Amino acid sequence: MEESAGAGRFHAELLLEPDSRPWLPSLGTPLATGSEQRYLVDGTLERLAAEGSRSLLHLESSGAAPPNTDPAGDAWNTLLPNRANPRTRALGEQLWQESGGDKHAFLAAIMGHFGESPFRYTLMPPRLGSRHRVDEFLFESQAGYCTHYASAAATLIRGAGIPARMVVGFLGGERHPDGYFTIRDYDAHAWIEVWLDGAWQRLDPTAAIAPERIELGPQAVEGSAEAFLADSPFSSLRLRELGWANQLRLRWENLEYQWQRGVIGYQREAARAFMGRLGEWLEAGYGWLHAQLRSAPWMAAAWLGGMVLGLAGLAWLLRLGLRQRRWRNESTMVGYLQGRLVRLGLGPVPGESPAAHLRRIAPKCGLSGSALEAVAEEYERLAYAPLSEAERSAGRRRLRLAIRRVRFSLSKGRNRARWGGAAGEDVAS
């Protein structure tokens, strides 16, 4: 990553792992990318389609929060559930009155409340099961990680009528001797942006509870590394305290990065060169075929038939390869299903997880509903539960069967609609 002198612009090259989620890390406000991406009005950068393999992203960004306001106006970012978290609302009103209605003093009072109360940072917080979860967190458990503190602060700020939104991204990373960073899910972080003085301004309540998490990374917080690696007993990250082993791990990661970077770059150049050669071959083939048709029509017809059969075989092999790739893991399986649902007008809303999307539309889908619920449940189990290889393999088989049930139901629904199904009948029923 490089910073343009005096320009407040960062240039970065990111090697991204496969991911069914659309969001891309942008380091503040994205200004330009090396490939076509989608930029949302809230400042989020999204890929146009799920990525099933590692990819390179060339990014130019400002490092600052997005400057634009929400088209829905201030009201959208001040919404709160009705009659939820009354104790939190009362606390917000108290802090607002004590700050004399001054927004800057109010935000400082919130940060001071987190810093003075007996809150603690942990990756293994107690479960919050009540309807008023923010109340339960602020006044009872008082233990959690960045998401807990960011959502609680956003609730307090919105209660005072100040626009606020929660932002999820990454903070920290492991710096390698060569100057690049490895950023893992381990470095995920949440903070808030507050609309103040005509701009979105960052506020991180975690800094008041665990400043070492902000300054030194998650590994600096007592017990956080063990919590993150609890389901990975053989992770190479456990070797960080052994000097020689850690150096070996860093060298291996650097070698892997350089290899993947070279392979992806080579694939792009090879694809461009292949398309150029293909154009030349097609032009030469057309000239040859035209000459043969004039001199020996029967030979040209035989060659043309062979070419058609060859292209049909190639198309079949490509289709077979795409199908095998589609069923490779749970992310690509569910991503494929979501693509089918988008074409039926049942796509996800912005910020919605795959499981939440499937559960939301299940009641609208008639006979497909139970299969969608099964897909969501099995996907979450595969994505988050600590499973052995045998359990994971069996889970993926169950997921494939559930997705095929959904596809079958959707196909039946489309056929009924095409041939004049009953009025008002769900297309997926």
Q: Are residues 210 and 196 in the same domain?
A: yes
Q: Band of the pLDDT at 203, cuts 50, 70, 90?
A: very high
Q: Band of the pLDDT at 85, cuts 50, 70, 90?
A: very high
Closest CA to 34 of 19, 55, 50, 6: 55
- Give 351 or 323, the one with higher predicted confidence: 351
Q: Specify the pLDDT at position 234.
A: 43
- Asked if residue 429 belongs to a domain, the reply is no
The number of residues making up the chain comes to 429
- Asked if residue 56 belongs to a domain, the reply is yes
Q: Band of the pLDDT at 230, cuts 50, 70, 90?
A: very low
Q: Are residues 84 and 15 in the same domain?
A: no
pLDDT in tens, 119-161: 988 888 888 888 899 999 999 999 998 999 999 999 999 999 9
pLDDT in tens, 270-300: 566 667 766 777 777 777 667 766 776 666 6
Which residues are CB-contacts of 52 (< 8 A; sequence separation ≥ 6)?
18, 325, 328, 331, 332, 335
Q: Looking at mean pLDDT, say which of 238-252, 288-302, 367-381 comes out highest.
A: 367-381
Q: Looking at mean pLDDT, say which of 26-30, 273-277, 325-329 comes out highest.
A: 26-30
Q: Are residues 339 and 316 in the same domain?
A: no
Q: 152 is in which domain, residue-wise? A: 79-168+184-231
- Asked if residue 176 belongs to a domain, the reply is no
Residue at a domain's end among 231, 248, 267: 231
Q: Are residues 85 and 200 in the same domain?
A: yes
In the block, which residue shows the tokens 């030979």? 299
Q: Are residues 211 and 111 in the same domain?
A: yes
Q: Are residues 226 and 120 in the same domain?
A: yes
Count of domains in the chain?
4
- Average per-residue pLDDT for the chain: 77
CA distance 168 to 148: 12
Let me know if 189 is a catalytic residue: yes
- Asked if residue 426 belongs to a domain, the reply is no
pLDDT in tens, 412-428: 654 343 333 333 334 44
Residue at a domain's end among 30, 61, 92: 61
Instruction: Give the Cβ contact number of residue 311 at 10 Å.
Output: 10
In the block, which residue shows the tokens 């100057």? 179
Q: Are residues 118 and 226 in the same domain?
A: yes
Q: Band of the pLDDT at 205, cuts 50, 70, 90?
A: very high
- Give 145 or 384, the one with higher predicted confidence: 145
Q: Are residues 216 and 120 in the same domain?
A: yes
CA distance 66 to 64: 6
- Asked if residue 112 belongs to a domain, the reply is yes
Q: Are residues 102 and 46 in the same domain?
A: no
Q: Specify the pLDDT at position 417.
A: 37
- Which of the residue ranges 174-178, 197-201, 210-214 would you say has the lowest mean pLDDT? 210-214
Taking 60 as the threshold, does the pLDDT of residue 223 lie above it?
A: no
Let me know if 365 is a catalytic residue: no
Q: Are residues 86 and 160 in the same domain?
A: yes
- Asked if residue 237 belongs to a domain, the reply is no
In the block, which residue shows the tokens 């004590």? 98
Closest CA to 404 of 321, 359, 340, 315: 340
CA distance 326 to 347: 18
Catalytic entry in 42, 135, 187, 204: 204
Taking 80 as the threshold, does the pLDDT of residue 317 lie above it?
A: no
- Asked if residue 251 belongs to a domain, the reply is no
CATH number of the domain encompassing residue 129: 3.10.620.30
- Give 345 or 157, the one with higher predicted confidence: 157
Q: Specify the pLDDT at position 269.
A: 62
Residue at a domain's end among 326, 346, 379: 326
Catalytic entry in 42, 113, 135, 146: 146
- Asked if residue 36 belongs to a domain, the reply is yes
Q: Are residues 34 and 85 in the same domain?
A: no
Q: Are residues 96 and 57 in the same domain?
A: no
Mean pLDDT of 363-367: 81
- HSE-up (13 A, CA, CB side) for residue 212: 10
Catalytic entry in 42, 113, 148, 189: 189
